[in-house]
Amino acid sequence: MIIFPNAKVNLGLNIISKRADGFHNIQSVFVPIKIEDALEFVPSNNLEFTTSGLPIPGNTNDNLILKAYNLIKLKYNIPLLKIHLHKVIPMGAGLGGGSADAAFFISGINNYFELKINDDELLQNASSLGSDCAFFIKNKTSFASEKGEVLEPFDLDLSNYKICVVHPKIHVNTAWAYSKINPSMPKKSIKEILYQPIETWKHDLVNDFEKPVFENHPEIKTLKNELYNNGAVYASMSGSGSSVFGIFKNEIPEISLDKKFTIFNCSF
């Protein structure tokens, strides 16, 4: 079976409060976008996991796909699998690629082996792997709260817009980014802002991580400004970075940037 996990971007990201468990409560709107990995699995005599495309750092056994396999294997009678991941979504970029891979894998083996796991259990399993994994189970624009795993559908139609995502190949440590935030409730909610005309988002819709990340990596701020200079109606960093994106009303212009950056032009 071959599936295509997609990325997401954050429209607004407010860090509301520090939790007793050491995590943070957030508010954001997660929006799926059409930058996709390719993930294939077939029954096998041995458990195998291979990758191609972008190199994946770290210990293979720590990959969320294998953690997802082991999680489902504990509860359901599934065979050993040969799994191959072709990685396109940049890692550590605020695009949720690793979470998408794990969530799509859980949904994929549920369908392939007809396990009949209901949506609530799928969401619970995904949430246990990572805070934003649950989003990719339904993979629809959602308002996210608490750690990012509490989701509610959010009616936002961006089908007439295009999105340009730029990955500067800079790694931003998420724990460091959180350590630089003073949590607080925003004066205006993300929901309220997103129901305003999109032209007003530039002034009101904020990602709280931008301030510390831009101070530490001014070139990321420059990328955001370049997107505005090229006609974006809204531009922002996604998640804790380092990717930035611009939303365009019409076709995305030819944007001249350093060749070390990776540019994705796609739709919502």
Q: Give catalytic residues, as residue numbers.
A: 8, 132
Q: Assign 3-class secondary structure to 33-83.
A: EEEECEEEEEECCCCEEEEEECCCCCCHHHCHHHHHHHHHHHHCCCCCEEE
Q: Are 33 and 268 in contact (CB under 8 A)?
A: yes
Contact residues for 142 (Cβ-Cβ < 8 A; gap 6+)? 29, 30, 135, 151, 152, 153, 154
CA geometry: angle at 40 spanning 140 and 60, to 5°? 95
Q: Is 78 exposed, middle or buried (0-12, 13-18, 19+ CB in 10 A)?
A: middle
**Both structure tokens of 260:** 């070390």
- Output b/e per residue, 8-36; b: 16+ Cβ within 10 A: bbbbbbbbbeeeeeeebbbbbbbbbbebb
CA geometry: angle at 91 spanning 225 and 6, to 5°? 90
Beta bridge partners of 241: none
